[in-house]
Structure 1
Amino acid sequence: MITCLFLNTVVELFLSVLGEVENLLLEHPDHVAFSNDTVSVEYQYYSGGNVTAEHVSILLLDASTSEIIGRKQLPANQSQGMVVFECFHFKSAGDFLFRMVSPSDNSSAAQWSRSSMSTLHVEWPVFHIDLNRSSEVLGSSLQVGLFTNEQLCAMNKTVISLDVIFTSTLYEFRRVSSDETLGIRTSKEIPLSRSQWVEFDCPPVSEEIYITVLLKSLKTHSIIASIGPVDLLHKFGYRLVVVAEDTCKTLVQVFVISPPCTSISGKIVVYKEALKHSSQRTTWLYENILHPGDNRTEFNCSLFDVGKNKYCFDLLNFSNRSYFPARVKECMLIQRNMGLY
C-alpha cells in the first residue's frame, strides 16, 4: 500500500514537471462503416499538477477534410477512462482522427503530438448484388437484390443509393460508372438493410441490353459495391411455357419468358416429335411470327392429329446476337378427339 502511494506521488510529480500530458488509445484501430459496432477510445489527461479533465473533449474528425464528425465531453475530475462513439458517426470509409482538445488550446497553432491523437481506419462493408425477374410474362421491371452479413447500424437518415444503368452496347465498367452520358440511368435512395429487393422499371424495350448496378454512398458518392455490365440475355435466357386444355378443343397458347427488360424478334414453330431412330425428317406444321414486344402466340387445335401425340414448340430468334441459346424448346402431349376443331 505504501509502495503504491509512493509510485502515484512520483507519477504526479513527474507529470507536474512535464506540464500538460495527453494520451489517446483506440481499443481497435479498424472499423466497418454502417456496422452496429461502437468505437471505444481510452484517454489519459494531466495538466501540470491538476488532473481534472473538466472542459476537455475528444473530437472525431474526417482525416481527409478535417470536418468534425463528433465530439465527446470528458467527465470532470477523471484523468483517465474511456469514451464511446456510437455507430452512426461512421457513415463512410476512410481514415478518421480522434483528438483531445481543451479551451486553452490554440487550434490554429497547436502542435499535436502523436499521443494526443489516434487514427481509425474505416472500410466499407461487403455487399452482394443480385438480379431477378419481377414478372415472368410482362418483363417490364427488374429486381435488384442487396445482401450483407454485416450487423448494420440504425441510422436516422438514408445513407446509400442504388444506381442502375442500362446500355444497348457492352462497355467497360470503368467507362459506364464514370461517364454520366452513357445509357439510361435510374437512382433510388434505399434504407440500410441486411437483405432487400428493390424494383426498377425497365427502359424502352430492346433486343440487346446490358445492366450495371452501383451501390453508392450518399455522403461521398463513392462506389461501395457493384456488378456489371451484365448481359441480361446470357444471365436469364429464354423459356417457353405451353398452355393447353386437357383435350384440345380450341387453341394451344405458347408464352415466351424473355429476360427482364428485353424483347425478341423471331418466330415459334410447331412440329410433331419424330419417333426414336426414325429416319423421317421433321417438318414444321406451322409457324407464328413474334414482333418486338410480343410475348405470346396461339396455335389452332386443328393443326394436331386425332389422338394423343407429342408436339414440340421451338423459338427461333431473328437477332444477330453473338450469344443466343442454340435451341429454346418445349414439348408436351396434346390430346385431340375426333370431330373437335
Structure 2
Amino acid sequence: MKPMLKDFSNLLLVVLCDYVLGEAEYLLLQEPVHVALSDRTVSVGFHYLSDVNGTLRNVSVMLWEANTNRTLTTKYLLTNQAQGTLQFECFYFKEAGDYWFVMIPEVTDNGTQVPLWEKSAFLKVEWPVFHIDLNRTAKAAEGTFQVGVFTTQPLCLFPVDKPDMLVDVIFTDRLPEARASLGQPLEIRASKRTKLTQGQWVEFGCAPVGVEAYVTVMLRLLGQDSVIASTGPIDLAQKFGYKLMMAPEVTCESVLEVMVLPPPCVFVQGVLAVYKEAPKRPEERTFQVAENRLPLGERRTVFNCTLFDVGKNKYCFNFGIVKKGHCILCKKKKK
C-alpha cells in the first residue's frame, strides 16, 4: 500500500509542477492498480490546453495493452471539455498485465494522429484472488473428485465475449523432490472448460497413477497461458484419508468384515491392524490383536471371531496413514 501511495504522491507533484509552469496537460488515474475480471471501472482524470487562439482541440484517450501490444479502445473527449473524468468499463480488463492510457491530439496536417506518450498514465492490473479446494463426490462415483474454485471478488458482467475459465489438473505418482532419484514420474493431465463465476465445483475423473497420488490444480483463462491461481501438489491420501466402513456396534459370530474406502484416485494397499482398547487401569496397555495385509486394489478383509474376547469389548482398527483408528463395540457370546 505504501509504494502505491508514494507513486500517487509523485504523480500529483508532477501535475502541480505543470500547473506552476503553465503546462498542465495530463492524465491522472484515481487508482493506479486494478483487479482483472472485477466489476469495477477505471476512472481517468484528464486536463488539456487550448491552442494559441484559445480554441479547444479534438483530443482522444487511447487504452493500450502492453502485453499484447494492441489498442483496446479509444474514447473521445467533448470539444468543449478541457478537463474531467473518463470511465473505462470493466470488460476492457480481462487479463493481468500493464496497461497505458495515452492522450492523442487532433489529426495533424498529414492525416496521422501521434500519441503523446509523455502525457500518459500507467495502470497495473492484477489477477483476482481465487481459492482452490478439493472435495469427494458421491459414494456412487468413487472414480471422481471435485475441484472447487472460489473468489470473493465481484466479477464483471461482460455484455459480450465473456471469457471462460480453464481448470487444469495434473496427476502424478510422486512429489517433485522424489523424482530425480526414482526416474521419470508418471504424469497425467486433464482440463475442463467452465464459466467465469465467483464459486463453483468442477468434477474430474480419476487418473490411474497408483497407490500414491498427487494433484496439482491450475486456473487459467481459456486460450491464455498466464496462471491466475494454482495449488499443489496435494497428497490425496493426506487430504482425504482412508475411511473404514463398519457399524459402530457388531455381534461377532463367525468373521468380522471390514471395508476400506480409499481417498479419490488412490488404490488400496497396506496393512489393516486391530487393537483392543486399553482398560481404565493405567498399568495395562493397548495391544495389537491381529493384522491383515490388503493387496493392491483389495478393499475388503475379514477377521476371525476367535481373535476377539467374549463379552462386550471395544476394538480399534488402523489402516495406512490413518492417525486415529476407527473404533467399534464388538459383542461375542460365550459358547
Q: Same fold (TM over 0.5)?
A: yes
Kindly provide the amino acid, as one letter, of the partner of residue 39 in structure 2.
Answer: N
List aligned pairs for 1:276-295, cutoff 5 A: 276=281, 277-278=283-284, 282-284=288-290, 288-295=292-299
Q: Does 1:171 align with 2:167?
A: no
Q: Give me the whole-angstrom Cα distance separating, in 1, the residues matched to 2:314 and 2:191.
A: 48
* Aligned residue in 1 for 2:29: 26
The runs of 5 or more residues in structure 1 that have no matched partner are 1-13, 176-180, 318-323
Q: Does 1:125 align with 2:121?
A: no
* Aligned residue in 2 for 1:202: 206
Kindly provide the amino acid, as one letter, of the partner of residue 37 in structure 1.
Answer: R
Contact 2:211-2:267 at 8 Å conserved across structures: yes
Contact 2:167-2:194 at 8 Å conserved across structures: yes
Q: RMSD between aligned alpha carbons?
A: 3.6
* Aligned residue in 2 for 1:332: 328
Kindly provide the amino acid, as one letter, of the partner of residue 171 in structure 1.
Answer: P
Kindly provide the amino acid, as one letter, of the partner of residue 218 in structure 2.
Answer: L
Contact 1:254-1:296 at 8 Å conserved across structures: yes
1:158 counterpart SS class: coil
Kindly provide the amino acid, as one letter, of the partner of residue 332 in structure 1.
Answer: I
Contact 2:315-2:328 at 8 Å conserved across structures: yes
Residues 174-209 of structure 1, C-alpha deviation per residue, up to 9 Å, x if partnerless?
A: x9xxxxx97111112222233322221110151011
2:314 counterpart SS class: strand
Q: Does 1:193 align with 2:193?
A: no
List aligned pairs for 1:118-267, cutoff 5 A: 118-135=121-138, 139-155=142-158, 156=160, 157-171=162-176, 183-218=187-222, 220-243=224-247, 247=251, 252-267=256-271
Contact 2:289-2:307 at 8 Å conserved across structures: no
Q: Give me the whole-angstrom Cα distance separating, in 1, the residues matched to 2:135 and 2:30.
A: 42
Provide the TM-score with structure 2 as the length reference.
0.75
Kindly provide the amino acid, as one letter, of the partner of residue 195 in structure 1.
Answer: G
Q: Give me the whole-angstrom Cα distance separating, in 2, the residues matched to 1:135 and 1:144.
A: 14
- Give the one of 308, 318, 322 matched to 2:312: 308
- Give the one of 43, 47, 50 matched to 2:46: 43
Cα deviation for residue 300 of structure 1 reads: 6.6
Kindly provide the amino acid, as one letter, of the partner of residue 193 in structure 1.
Answer: T
Cα deviation for residue 222 of structure 1 reads: 0.6
Structure whose alpha-carbon radius of gyration is higher: 1
The runs of 5 or more residues in structure 2 that have no matched partner are 1-20
Contact 2:270-2:295 at 8 Å conserved across structures: yes
Q: Does 1:72 align with 2:75?
A: yes
Q: Between Structure 1 and Structure 2, how many residues are aligned?
A: 303
Kindly provide the amino acid, as one letter, of the partner of residue 334 in structure 1.
Answer: C
Cα deviation for residue 216 of structure 1 reads: 1.7
Alpha carbons of structure 1 residues 111 and 242: separation in structure 2 relative to 1, 3 Å: closer
Cα deviation for residue 233 of structure 1 reads: 2.2
Cα deviation for residue 242 of structure 1 reads: 1.4
1:125 counterpart SS class: coil
Cα deviation for residue 308 of structure 1 reads: 2.3
